[in-house]
Amino acid sequence: MRPLRLLFVIMVGLALLATGCGSGGTTPSGGAPAPQRLGPTAAPGDDVCGETRPATGPTTIEHAMGSTTVPDDPQRIVVLDSDKLDTICALGLQDRLVGTISLDSGQPSYLGPTIKAVPTVGKISEPELEKIASLRPDLILGSKFRTPDLYDQLSQIAPTVFTELVGLTWQENFLLDASALRRADQGRELLDQLKADAKTTGSEVDGAQAEASIVRFINGGIRIYGPTSFSGSVLELAGISRPEFQQLNGAEDRRFAEISAEELPKADGKIIYVTAYGPDATAQQDQLLKDPLWQTLNGVKSGRVFLVSDEVWMTGIGVIAAHGILVDLKTSLG
């Protein structure tokens, strides 16, 4: 399946999974309208992931840890970060994935059942070398940000390619991983199509007037996400405006900022997208959304709060997840 056709299938699949859209919007007695839920609520079929053809001949890839000669067409792939799961599927190689890290929230449902069944090789911060070696991979994709000290040992198991950072450089990471998988042309085509689709989405929903807030509950804290986060960068591609505070101008790190429960007004926007990482954070979210201070936010009072998928908006960090965000934008702003 060619990448452009693949993106159509991805978009249709994610749109069909945006069940519950518009539900949950009734007004509780004496309160603001309840949040509406967006995004996938069940796993799609594996047809969201299409097939692409490799380049020919081995090549040397320059990456965060040096240079590595990768095989012509990798058949047994191990990935050590969640963004690479998205990349594997976008390029149609999910059936070649023999190992991946375990995530606290479980493997992402939006990528289909094959990913759920892939053997795990330890936590994202502590992959287990013996498990990886036992899978006999011919290519390992990882991140210097996660496990720089393991690179030499991993390279003794199989050709290993590391990206530098996580999230901030997700587009560059995608293209590097696509090159390591011998599908650089398809990777560029997929990314170009995403940018075109984002621009179209923004024009269709009048993104310049949106003032969209992104709020995440995680590890007992509250974060608002800025323009260099994954989800923030997708909104930027679509020309979706953000509240002034969430531009994080002047901050050294413009990915996100921590706020306290007393600072909830900083989470306000004309529309508010809310997500939570794991069951504990979801419980925290549910409790705080009842807080009287939360009820004073303009986005809350106007009934424009949307609960979105954390694995799509936060941990997906790839082309398929980005298209999922665009689907949510169309549904909520259209």
**Residue pLDDT, tens place only, 35-60:** 899 876 444 445 445 556 677 666 99
pLDDT tier for residue 16 given thresholds of 50, 70 and 90: very low
In terms of domains, do 213 and 110 share one?
Answer: no
Structural domain includes residue 187: no
Would 36 be classed as within a structural domain? yes
Which domain range does residue 16 map to? Answer: 3-43+206-333
Give me the number of domains the chain comprises: 2
* Distance set, CA 176 to CA 48, 81, 95, 185 (Å): 22, 14, 20, 11
Q: Where is average pLDDT lowest: 101-105, 164-168, 224-228, 245-249?
A: 101-105
Final residue of a structural domain among 148, 182, 216? 182
Of residues 129 and 59, more confidently modeled: 129
The per-residue pLDDT for 309 is 96
Extract the tokens encoding 196. 């075109």
What CA–CA distance (Å, rounded) separates 225 from 231?
8
Given a cut of 80, whether residue 147 has pLDDT beyond it is yes
Co-location of 22 and 140 in the same domain: no
Q: Place 152 in a pLDDT band, splitting at 50, 70 and 90.
A: very high
Same domain, 255 and 152: no
Contacts of 286 (CB under 8 A, 6+ apart): none
Q: Is residue 310 part of a domain?
A: yes
In the predicted structure, residue 31 carries a pLDDT above the cut 70: no
Q: What is the mean pLDDT of the chain?
A: 88
- In a shared domain, residues 29 and 145: no
Higher pLDDT, 103 or 46: 103
Question: Same domain, yes or no, for 257 and 314?
Answer: yes
Same domain assignment for residues 65 and 26:
no
Angle at 218 between CA 212 and CA 224, to 5 degrees: 25
State whether 174 and 229 are in the same domain: no
Distance CA 59, CA 326 (A): 34
Q: Residues 63, 36: one domain?
A: no
Residue 196 inside a domain? The answer is no
The CATH number of whichever domain residue 266 belongs to comes to 3.40.50.1980
pLDDT score at 166: 86
Last residue of a domain, one of 167, 182, 197: 182
Q: Which residue has the tokens 């011998």?
A: 182
Residue 102 has pLDDT above 70, yes or no: yes
Look at residues 262, 247, 168, 261 and name the one whose alpha carbon lies nearest to residue 211: 247
The residue among 147, 182, 217 that closes a domain is 182
Helix (H, G, I), strand (E, B) or coil at 90: helix
pLDDT of residue 330 exceeding 80: yes
* Average pLDDT estimate for 154-179: 96
Is residue 198 in some structural domain? no
168 shares its domain with 235: no
CA–CA dist 77, 206 (Å, integer) = 41
Residues 92 and 142 in one domain: yes
Q: Say yes or no to pLDDT of 196 above 90.
A: yes
Asked if residue 194 belongs to a domain, the reply is no
**202: which 2 tokens?**
């923004």
Looking at the structure, tell me whether residues 236 and 319 fall in a common domain.
Answer: yes
Question: Look-up: residue for tokens 């390619």?
Answer: 161
Say if 110 falls within a structural domain: yes
Domain membership flag for residue 188 = no
Which carries the bigger pLDDT value, residue 31 or residue 307? 307
* Shared domain check, 84 and 9: no
Number of H helices, E strands in the chain: 12, 14
